Structure 1
């Protein structure tokens, strides 16, 4: 068994009474400090940089309990009876706990008769059984605390019997190590129950350093990992995905490449995506409900807090909110026409983008006047829809027929037309909205001219009643904004002194009248093939899809005339004074001088004026 019964110490004193031998002659194992308990204190939530697995307090090596044989008073004449009782106790496996157990009786016999062979053989059998029992207890997986306590007591008995035995020393070390591992495992479990997973992980890690295959520590680490994953999922369920990632980061340090952490990442990302999809869908519903923009923006803020950069769901919701905020149910560049009550369709409209621009002319711009200054910034926080072309003869005629209207030129009986014979603009009787630039009947697809600003406003009011939408003349700022279409040059097409080919109906040196006339003040080298107004949309649209903003006909806008832009509205609203007579005309026309084709050019006209050079288009709110 690797050792022998001790022959020094207590056995040397057995001639004395057993009581005295037990009290005065037993060699005590060296004293050890009392083990310090591990206390698991609950910890408050900590920041990410603090989330490290920390070492658990290392419990001191638990000393083996000292054992002394229960006192047995034995006289020489009682030896035979004691041996008999010891044999019965040995057979019943009662070895060391009471005075009538085998080992105390055999020791008492040897104290009286040190060479008594039966007692020595019985004591050796008891020792062998104790060695086997301690080894079995060390392997017992259930009730480890109770098993190790029993093993410690039995090891103390063995150490008492054979303090120099190798088997006894080995078992003593194993029992001490097992009790230390048990203390660490228990401290880890208490820390985990107390809400300190970092301390728990440290304790279990120490166990595995000492015994890599320790199943209880492995289960403990798995429990720590599960607890951290649960914390991560709880955080994700409350939309705190930063905290969820921190918890997962902690969990990933418990066991390298653990599939459970990878699976949890997938689940939490799925939770994130589900929450983002719900916020996106809820925000989109809000945009079409009475809750409107405010509720949708609140959901967008929630989505931004949990989304990864560039998340598609957030991008969709943000884009739709921006569209609704700036365009209602429309989108920039959208073309539409509203249905009329009589079964027809209104003018084709296009949605221009919201934004801002510098309105007017700079102080250094050639040909500019003080009426076009000061240049000032105007911003449109919401887009608007504007007619793609000038209102046509056919469109205006539908209004006249439906309302029996008598526009200004019709009532007055004349308008201003171009006279081919003299080359001048003259008053001609009978010219009204049905006439073209020279007084002859105009084709239905030509822009309507010979209308006053009040005629244009009457058409807008009729169209609003027909469609249930609000139509009006554009403000001066809206007109210039749409005319420039994002450009900043002197002309609508930039700073070049000649218009790009096909860009519009302007006064070009290559234009020829029916009688062979040429313009005296024109864009050199430019010709558009028309003397007079051209059919709507005959030329290329600008960058925002609008035709003839800078040419064909000049156009009425909603503003009253002001001699400069001082105190002009910064939001692009019409600058209107009730009862004003002088109104504003914007945009070049087929008979304008080049300087009057500049993007900032503006003209004052009496509200009753009708002419072959002035038409209009409309704006509709969205």
Structure 2
């Protein structure tokens, strides 16, 4: 996608999150962040046109970009041109293997500050054996208010800063787990259903095996990353708003699940493009459980201090009441326990 390529170039030039490269009117501010890294005016205009907020103002075809780049080539601009072509490889091939990415896209959503987001869709057909693939969504970095004053264990509400990262589009499915681990412990069988009846240690083992295969840091998300990704720019009870009567459109939970899991991706996604963040299975986070947020990290990292052997769960599950599916709701389980409500999704560092 031309827009995503342009914004990726700007991010590499400035080392600034894409959400912060635009003002409230959607106008580009990237030149304000250049530090000892000047860009020629004609090349800057190419970037501007690639990253225009309005689609009709962008390039329509890649060959139009190449024509403009070729007309500006000089010795002093060769480094910049190398960066553009290299960015295309970064954008569509974050694991640096061949035939890895099927497509990428960008989707706009409204936030209080910017009105845009940067989302990549990655379909990895080579990572797992047997034709099983993973799909990850690039979550833009940003700040948000984490917690909920209505629940003692979700207090105090505090600001957290999140770095960009990838998160699984869906919870890990049974066919994915079977392909990597060789077994399927799930109570409710189905290739496209989320794997469940797994412990926190099982989830970590799955991530470690994928990491060894790819050389990338697949892992469980931190609790802060999970909530940021679930909210997708909202501060409401659910990522779609506060009206819990609408929850059935977005989640499998106690009122509609028939007391079992369901194949992932059947309900409506959030504004980051993530499915099943509410309901279906509880999702493990990497953090140790704490009774509240006093002393919690504010940089989005996992809270690893403390002696509690329980780990954080998020999202609710197939038999939950609506309140347990809220974006802010927290639960816990012993790291070695495995039950049919318990599943997980993977995160991945953007490097």
**Moved >4 Å (runs of 4+):** 283-288, 298-303, 316-321, 341-346
Measure how far apart 1:542 and its partner are. Answer: 1.1
Measure how far apart 1:530 and its partner are. Answer: 3.9
Give the SS at the match of 1:456.
Answer: helix
CA–CA separation in structure 2 for the residues paired with 1:384 and 1:341: 21
CA–CA separation in structure 2 for the residues paired with 1:603 and 1:286: 36
Residue number in structure 1 paired with 2:144: 357
Give the SS at the match of 2:137.
Answer: strand
CA–CA separation in structure 2 for the residues paired with 1:582 and 1:609: 9
Q: Does 1:443 align with 2:171?
A: no
Residue number in structure 2 paired with 1:467: 214
Residue number in structure 1 paired with 2:66: none
Residue number in structure 2 paired with 1:376: 158
Measure how far apart 1:495 and its partner are. Answer: 1.5
Residue number in structure 2 paired with 1:340: 127
Q: For each residue in 1:30-54, what CA deviation from the matched residue of structure 2 results, as whole angstroms up to 9, or x when unmatched? A: xxxxxxxxxxxxxxxxxxxxxxxxx
Measure how far apart 1:578 and its partner are. Answer: 7.8
1:427-576 matched pairs, under 5 angstroms: 433-436=185-188, 442-508=189-255, 528=256, 530-576=258-304
CA spacing shift, 1:578–1:456, aligned 2, 3 Å: farther
Residue number in structure 1 paired with 2:171: 390
Measure how far apart 1:541 and its partner are. Answer: 1.1
Q: For each residue in 1:471-528, what CA deviation from the matched residue of structure 2 results, as whole angstroms up to 9, or x when unmatched? A: 00000001111111111112332221312552111222xxxxxxxxxxxxxxxxxxx4
CA contact (8 A) 1:300 1:318 kept: no
CA–CA separation in structure 1 for the residues paired with 2:47 and 2:347: 33
1:290-369 matched pairs, under 5 angstroms: 297-298=34-35, 301=38, 303=40, 312-313=45-46, 315=48, 329=91, 332-338=118-124, 339-340=126-127, 342=129, 344-362=131-149, 365=150, 368=151
Q: What is the TM-score normalised by the length of structure 1?
A: 0.39
CA spacing shift, 1:579–1:434, aligned 2, 3 Å: same
CA–CA separation in structure 2 for the residues paired with 1:529 and 1:582: 27
Measure how far apart 1:462 and its partner are. Answer: 0.3
CA–CA separation in structure 2 for the residues paired with 1:585 and 1:395: 21
Structure with greater strand share of residues: 2
Give the SS at the match of 2:156.
Answer: coil
CA spacing shift, 1:313–1:597, aligned 2, 3 Å: same
| Uncovered stretches (5+) of structure 2, i.e. residues with no partner | 1-5, 17-32, 53-79, 93-105, 107-117
Measure how far apart 1:335 and its partner are. Answer: 1.2
Residue number in structure 2 paired with 1:106: none
CA–CA separation in structure 2 for the residues paired with 1:619 and 1:572: 13
Which has the higher Rg, Structure 1 or Structure 2?
A: 1
Q: CA RMSD in A?
A: 3.5
Residue number in structure 2 paired with 1:51: none
Structure with greater helix share of residues: 1
CA spacing shift, 1:532–1:334, aligned 2, 3 Å: same
CA–CA separation in structure 1 for the residues paired with 2:271 and 2:295: 30
Give the SS at the match of 2:285.
Answer: strand
CA–CA separation in structure 2 for the residues paired with 1:345 and 1:467: 15
CA–CA separation in structure 1 for the residues paired with 2:276 and 2:311: 21
Q: What is the TM-score normalised by the length of structure 2?
A: 0.68
Q: For each residue in 1:192-223, what CA deviation from the matched residue of structure 2 results, as whole angstroms up to 9, or x when unmatched? A: xxxxxxxxxxxxxxxxxxxxxxxxxxxxxxxx
Q: For each residue in 1:237-263, what CA deviation from the matched residue of structure 2 results, as whole angstroms up to 9, or x when unmatched? A: xxxxxxxxxxxxxxxxxxxxxxxxxxx
CA spacing shift, 1:552–1:343, aligned 2, 3 Å: closer
Measure how far apart 1:452 and its partner are. Answer: 0.2
